[in-house]
Structure 1
């Protein structure tokens, strides 16, 4: 699944069975299989495996800093003893995952939140069709981890008592949340029972406080309640400088302005300046060392920006009355409404101004997964589709479908359910969030490319001038309704077949009738989608009439409603009696061809093999 799957993982195998279990993971991501030389002499190591001669204890010590995660197939006690001397702090330790020797369970052992072990455990379990074991207290309460709350949005952690606030959260004691900036999407996906209170309320005795702000606050060690701060990246720093200004001068100037204004460096989204400074070595080095993007604007653009402190001297020098203020506002306006938070501050070599954007900069490349969830039963979803759903920041779909995949969801995810008639809105919302930098999956029942959302999202991207790369897009096929219905009644699709939707919301009824006649006349086995609704019955009556013009009334027909779901209903009948059955929008109809027949409640369309014997 592109770069979003397993990244920089070491898989440790000590037995032939462990190699079998881990091998599929090595085919789907950046996972390196490590095998002792003694085992390598017994089996043929998979291509790309790392063979080590030393003890596993020494080998782990040697490679510990090279990987973000370690996946063991072994007893958890053995793993605990091996990694104990190597663990430092949960903010630094790699994710540790343990798979039992039979591959039935995947355990998040260490660094569940910040190291990503909980999420990786879910992904691996989906790949292996195993059971994930996650013991994080917040997960059991269906709450997002406080220490990873802002990760999808690119927020940076500030100072605070993170262990203390996590403990308060787990105990479900009241926590005050003061959010001054950044996305509030995380709030909308909280469970009904959660410990967070937003804003101020003097009647509640809060046991903890979370600040989500660009401001840098100093918390006293002796504070009566634990406090933490997340910093959304909403600050754009405009910089003007003399030719040859050094990295040190720029660093000092920015730090001084931040300190004076009580703003957090972690809240900086990026830097902005005039395009003639794009080759300024000191500025480039500062941007690179700070890992901040640098945006540049022409004088023509900057001179159109209204600023509080224009300068005639600057205008004479660079053809615009403002560089720092205008550049900061120009960059911030690319992310919604902008306000000049700090007017230009001038030093001997550097001028600094800071604007705040409405929307934070995530620093991530967005992703859209177009996922077919099959007929609705979790067991009928492909492992790749399950993995795509599990790893997503956001799941978008029709409410019925998001409910069907609820077991695959986890507390940190944002679920957006829109009505069945709002397909275009779903597509545009997915694109909007992906362009912002989130990982989004759009789910469709059946196969997403057959009357699903895949075509609509791709079509909408093409209208917007999509370059084919950003955001990244992947399509995950699912078992289509016609396949699922066919599997429940036998083998009706063994010869040429077609699918026709009777919905005339997007296709003129004249076109539908033409296709029905062509399919009936050509003797195709025909799958009918969207046969009728409470207000749309005529197209189904027309379909029956057309098929009876070319098919025998005794032609076998299967009517399958809510296939593979709890209220599944299957009726085997004939074309002449088709309309005697209960049919609605959850129904798929399979009309046989001239050779289709029933045998002991099985619907069969011969391929022709027996005729050639």
Structure 2
């Protein structure tokens, strides 16, 4: 999913340029507080803001010095094949510099902006400068079959080696004009074969020697699939492979896999889409029934089962558009059907809807630097954010411009049901949780709802993709602030008896106390629950010393963060609230008095081992 760029404006001198670019790209302007008058969103710190956007995979166009953006994203640089475009533009709009992601859209954006502003695009990518195009980034509707060869081939072109281009697509014309590139006719197109262009090195000394080449295909074909419930993925994949081979169609020419929405969760269909590396698009029975007149094999049996006269043929035709025809009519195996459609036009805007996705996201305690890049990326990709309002607010700029559905505390099941049903409509939904979504949060409830036979969610919601993104839990955040209290065995216990019987909580408290675990107490108190924390303290005092260290960590990772230590015997309920994590040490936990203050740790036994080893040496 291509994300819309964000225009960063740091001062009033660049405001006019920022809004001109925003109008050109239909993109939002994010402005520095107190230094910019008009913006869609304001931020306090440019480096932090750029870093958050970059971590989420958002293209950044900064109206500022290049160095600001470089310093902002430098800690996150790792893989140039996945990083988003980053560009800097001078305040007066006269110079546009693609800094990162040149072949992932930055050079193209730079050219587009420069043309609109009558500016200079300072493109430094060697291939783009010499060839005028990026061979590893074909435009929509085309696919490079062997991207692993791109670096070697472009290096050869730049070093002056001679190449031959067999076939021609319009966007490759700048390459054909290069002095060391010859052109030749493309391979004759047989029935069903996709148009292709191949660039390969001319080896005059040894014409038979194989060298790295680049082959581009035009994506004109759509694959329609149907199957019995839980059909064997290998059966369908073998049928697809055999059909493509018989029809003389390469897999790279397939633009999409398509089916009826009832099959959105079929492993066999999902497997084919994954192996082909193309999106799965879905259609309702009504949409497929509209294709009946064009079907080669309409079936009343299929109509009775799913509400349309055909699935595979209808899906292939619906995806390829009104001018499409069938290249391969319905093929059947014991449990699967497939068909191939072809469009006379380049398939750049895929029809149908994608499979719905629900991302269950733990955003950590609230500090953006503790939020994982995966969590930020999933939030950025989501169309709608669902969660407790405070947690969504903690996302800051990542939540800007998105549909959000806030739910109060206590509305957890309603919150999860709503998120599932919205995803069931084909939307990309993010369920926002603090800490880690799988630890005392919404992850378990989502899967419980999906697993219920009754009182569950709709069939459409059961067919969605569910993604769980880990987050820094309150337990981990508190432990990091403390020092290393979890250096040995530990456990976590929720003291909320709203969902867990009080008797069960007391059993767990006694077991943890006897086991001498370090204990993290979640949900320690509320306005109405004031007794269990005191009971827990008294139970623990029967098994560990009165001076056992206890850490109280409130509002972790937020400006109002408050850390303090107490002896177990001095723990008071009134200084704890629902935003506090209580970490109780084991009988071996200690407080080290350091220059910056006390640090809590639980030794694992290395000192005893070292002392024993030294004693053995002495003997």
Q: Tell me the TM-score normalised to structure 2 length.
A: 0.47
TM-score, scaled relative to structure 1: 0.47
